[in-house]
Copies of this chain bind each other. A is one copy, B any other.
Amino acid sequence: MDKRATIKDVAEAAGVGVATVSRVLSGGSASPRTRERVLAVAAQLDYRPSALGRNLRQRRTGGMGLLVPDLTDTFHAQLAEGVLACARAAGEPVVLGSTAGDPEQESELIGMLLEQSVDRLIAVPSGDEDTWAPAIRAGMTVVFADRLPARPSSDEDDDPAATAVNDLMLLDGVSSGSRPRPLDAPSVVADDRAGIRTAVRYLRGLGHRRIAFLGGPGHDRRAAAFGAAVGAPVDEELVVFATGSRDSAYAAASGLFQSRPDLSAVVAGGNVLGEAAVLAARELDLRVPRDISLVMYDDVPWAELCSPPLTVIAQPGRDMGYRAAELVLRSGGRRPRGVMLPTELIIRGSCGPHRQ
């Protein structure tokens, strides 16, 4: 009914021009007298500048986009909470999208954000670099969180492990140059290599030799780190990938347990995979940690609820989100190359000594 006051209303009521009001409100120069009057009138009229007008004029929307594969994955929820906390502190809106791990939906959402002139984006990417190139080319400031887009599928070498090794080398700056450079976007990731390595060493210290890795989409780095930590001849059957869904994760875990009864320990690459592993183990009457030891990547509240409580590799999900938001907001001028946060092995009760 009573539509909001515009800058024009304020200007008239204060007996000044709109330009002056705009200047006062955005910190420009004005005489103390004028400033005071304008502020008083604005407050009295409960004037709030419309983001619409400003955005159109400045040809960009404030705030940021956030794209995650699945909010019911607790890690993504933690990440999102971190992003929201930072955005709230800055008074900026966050436009959220969930991609279900599908590059096509991801592309569509990028398009939607482009249409909204949202030019800052935080993403846990599902698509590969080809999916992301358009966004960056369109001038978006993109910060990747948790993982980087995969290299474009170059037909013959779509072996995840091999691709991951490539990523790893490139990240370390050891790239020998035949592949194109990664996209020019900073990232906030956890040091999952170290986390996985620590976990594998821990398991080996307990006597485990047949250790499997249960991964999901985007866990290539972790799989590669697993391979490196386990040692040279990796039994390929022991590295299993699921697609994003819980069903697929369960099927992968169950299949792994059934096909490899010699298995004595599993590293799950994420909390959804860990969940599936616990479920599948119970279904097959495998006792944790008596029959099988389990380490899960991601610390989530329910990890403590399992019996026994799950030993996990914790990564600071909330912090990662917060840092990513900081990065994408302070994109003035130079962008730092990226941030890597530490992981921590939290030993609870899901790993025991190897028994033959």
Q: Which residues of B contact A138 (CB under 8 A)?
A: 4
Q: Which of B4, B52, B81, B97 contacts A72 (CB 8 A)?
A: B81
Alpha-carbon gap, A53 to B52, bound state (A): 8
Asked if A206 is an interface residue, CB under 8 A from chain B, the answer is no
Residue of B nearest to A93 (CB): B95
Asked if A22 is an interface residue, CB under 8 A from chain B, the answer is no
Q: Which residues of B contact A52 (CB under 8 A)?
A: 52, 55-56, 59, 61, 116-117
Q: How many copies does the complex hold?
A: 2
Alpha-carbon gap, A93 to B112, bound state (A): 7
Asked if A165 is an interface residue, CB under 8 A from chain B, the answer is no
Q: Which residues of B contact A53 (CB under 8 A)?
A: 56
Q: How far is the CB of A95 from chain B (nearest CB, A)?
A: 5
Q: Is the CB of B72 within 8 A of A77?
A: yes
Q: Which residues of B contact A1 (CB under 8 A)?
A: 137, 139
Annotate A5-19 by CB proximity to B: 1 below 8 A, 0 otherwise: 000000000000000
Q: Which 6 residue pairs of A and B lie closest in terms of their CB atoms, listed nearest first?
A: A302-B302, A96-B96, A71-B77, A307-B307, A52-B56, A84-B98
Since A51-B116, A93-B97, A306-B306 are in contact, a sample of 14 more A-B pairs with Cβ atoms closer than 8 Å, ordered by chain A residue number, is: A1-B137, A4-B114, A4-B138, A52-B52, A52-B59, A63-B95, A72-B74, A72-B81, A84-B98, A93-B95, A93-B116, A95-B95, A278-B305, A302-B302
12 contacts between A and B (CB under 8 A): A4-B138, A52-B56, A56-B56, A72-B74, A72-B81, A74-B74, A80-B98, A84-B96, A84-B97, A88-B97, A279-B304, A305-B305
